[in-house]
Amino acid sequence: MSESVAVRENNGTVQSKQYYARAISPPVDVFENADEVLFVADLPGVPGSAVDVRVENGTLTLEAKRSAEPEAAFARSFRIPPGIDVANISAEAKNGTVLVRLPKVAAVKPRKIAVQGA
């Protein structure tokens, strides 16, 4: 999205300059442990009700709006890694942060095998 603005230069001439809207792309950190993959998105000023999290065709998408203005919206998509229990993905918003938990299926979780014998 761009906008033309008339700007008066120091020498008195008027020129049209093109400005482009900067995309909002908040940081998203990804952590992994033995049980899950965790996405942490920093969204200060965005209520949980304004955040949409969805999974489709192996992709996790986070969308949100800071206000009613279209320029204040963003969307980020991530490929879901193999071994995730897609049916049990959950999300919560708390203090300007959205946590999306992607639990691993039992088959990919590490397990300890007991050694038998005397």
Domain count, the chain: 1
> 43-63, pLDDT tens digit by residue?
888 888 889 999 999 999 999
Q: Is residue 78 part of a domain?
A: yes
Q: Is residue 52 part of a domain?
A: yes
Which residue range(s) make up the domain with 31?
A: 24-105
CATH of the domain at 65: 2.60.40.790
Mean of the per-residue pLDDT values of the chain: 80
> 73-107, pLDDT tens digit by residue?
888 999 998 999 999 999 999 888 999 999 999 88
Q: Which residues contact 21 (CB under 8 A, 6 or more apart)?
A: 1, 2, 3, 71
Taking Cα atoms as reference points, which of 14, 71, 13, 16 lies closest to residue 5?
A: 16
Q: Is residue 11 part of a domain?
A: no
Return d(Cα 118, Cα 105) in angstroms, integer.
33
| 48 or 1, greater pLDDT | 48
What DSSP character marks residue 84?
B
59-68 burial string, b = 16+ CB within 10 Å, else e?
ebebebbbee
Q: Is residue 93 part of a domain?
A: yes
Percent of the chain with pLDDT over 90: 41
Q: Is residue 114 part of a domain?
A: no
